[in-house]
Amino acid sequence: MGDSVRPLEDVRILAIEQYGAGPFGSVQLADLGAEIIKIEDPSSGGDVGRYVPPYQQEGDSLFFEAFNRGKRSIDLDMSSPGGRTVFEDLVRVSDVVYSNLRGDVPAKLGIRYADLHHLKPSIVCCSLSGFGMTGPRASEPGYDYVLQGMAGWMDLTGEPDGPPTKSGLSLVDYSGGLVAAISMLAAVHAARRDGVGTDCDVSLYDTALSMLTYPAIWQLNGDFTPRRTASSAHPSLVPFQAFKAADAWIVVACPKEKFWRRLTQVIGQPELADDPRYVDFSARRENATILLPLLEKIFTGRKAGDWLARLRAVGVPCGPVNSVTDALADPHARARGMVVETQHPRFGTVRQVAGAVRVGDLPLTWRRAPARNEDRDYVLRELLSYEPGVVDDVARAGAFGQPQ
């Protein structure tokens, strides 16, 4: 990799995307240098994420900024003859057509590989939908909260005597976006190797089910029934949960036997390490109802900062239960460059979290999200080399919305 060339600078993606899941996937690739051209529907006002409050003004919002930094935007009515002409010309000079729409919509819009391979045999067509392009639910809309319920996540989350609870973040959306990004990278690699593109049929439903991982394999191959645990405890490892200190909550984890032994020293109870009731993973799980109340009482005896300092000193995995404000202000977040700034004509200096992907040691650069249709001239004149007369022709054919 050259000194100033980012890893994906030779990749161009046409993104028919909106809201969170789709844009979260493509923004990871934008951070790595891919050119993401957002195709926005002029009849609906573009990406609905532009209008999410709070901190929203006309066609800009901080929500939109979080998912669309570094991208380009063009209004294009793909249902019109002119819009289809421009879209097909863009396919010829791009690597991927990426969408996050209902599973039945790619066929209706004609954006599958079967619809586009005649334009460019190596084109990759990636659909991220709620339920996929096949199956009985393909035509249903799918949203994060719905999927967290359907995939069993909400049944596993929260206190045992509380209601089903969703994650505090839209983790199905974000995970689905990451799965789509991985799928696109794999498909582009294969297309450049073989000269033949493909479809990537990614769904939030599949993503959510796949992330059940070990509770799923335990349930599918035994009599294990996943259940909610008190204090956000791990379903099988003890202790591995949140504990209330004298002034705040902390998380303490013992995923290895050595950590358990170190913990017994820190809490002043070294004899617990060799107690037959707690001597290994199985014993501690079997006797959790005896051990955990003991630990809970001990942890209330000191402040959180004191416990964390003692635990870190001997290498026991631990951390505070931070507020979002505290998490963003953590010195480690600053050291890792996780809070970055962009300049916006409406919002001024915008601070936001950076992406987590790292490749090499090339410093990353950040550019604000585009205004709607901001890059029309770039797309039409630089990428497609349209003469003014051609622009007028496709405009009259409805490419950019209802002709005036």
173-190 pLDDT tens trace: 999 999 999 999 999 999
Instruction: Supply the pLDDT for residue 402.
Output: 82
Instruction: Supply the pLDDT for residue 32.
Output: 94
Peptide bond just before 276 cis, omega within 30 deg: no
Protein fold of 230-244+249-320: formyl-coa transferase, domain 3 (3.30.1540)
357 CB-near residues (< 8 Å, 6+ apart): 28, 31, 32
Give yes or no for residue 404 having a pLDDT over 70: no
Give yes or no for residue 3 having a pLDDT over 80: no
CATH 3.30.1540.10 placement within the chain: 230-244+249-320
Give yes or no for residue 203 having a pLDDT over 60: yes
Helix axes 257-266, 304-313, angle to 10 degrees: 130
Half-sphere exposure of 73 (CA within 13 A, CB side): 25
Displacement of CA 309 from its chain's centroid (Å): 32
Protein fold of 12-211+336-396: Rossmann fold (3.40.50)
277-297 pLDDT, tens digit each? 999 999 999 999 999 999 999
Average pLDDT of span 141-168: 95
CATH 3.40.50.10540 placement within the chain: 12-211+336-396
Give yes or no for residue 344 having a pLDDT over 70: yes
115: region left, alpha or beta (phi > 0 left; psi from -120 to 50 alpha): alpha
Give yes or no for residue 264 having a pLDDT over 70: yes
Instruction: Supply the pLDDT for residue 259.
Output: 98
Give yes or no for residue 240 having a pLDDT over 60: yes
Which three-class secondary structure state does DSSP give residue 397?
Answer: coil
Instruction: Supply the pLDDT for residue 282.
Output: 97
Q: Which residues are catalytic?
A: 234
Which of 50, 51, 44 has its CA nearest to residue 78?
44
Which three-class secondary structure state does DSSP give residue 59?
Answer: coil
Average pLDDT of span 381-402: 96
7-54 pLDDT, tens digit each? 999 999 999 999 999 999 999 999 999 999 999 999 999 999 999 999
- H-only helix segments in 287-351: 288-299, 304-313, 324-329, 331-335
Average pLDDT of span 376-399: 97
Give yes or no for residue 272 having a pLDDT over 80: yes
Instruction: Supply the pLDDT for residue 363.
Output: 75
Q: Let me know: does 131 contact 137? Beta carbons within 8 Å.
A: yes
Burial of 287 (0-12, 13-18, 19+ CB in 10 A): middle
The helix (H) or strand (E) run that includes residue 343 is: strand 339-344
- H-only helix segments in 40-170: 62-68, 81-92, 105-109, 113-116, 144-150, 153-156
Peptide bond just before 23 cis, omega within 30 deg: no
Average pLDDT of span 135-149: 96
Residues 302-331 as b/e (b if ≥16 CB within 10 A, e otherwise) read bebeebbebbeeeebebebbeeeeeeeeee
Long-range interactions of 192-197: CB distance < 8 A, separation 24+: 192/122, 195/121, 195/122, 196/121, 196/122, 197/113, 197/117, 197/120, 197/121, 197/122, 197/123, 197/124, 197/125
Cα separation, 144 vs 175, in Å, equals 10
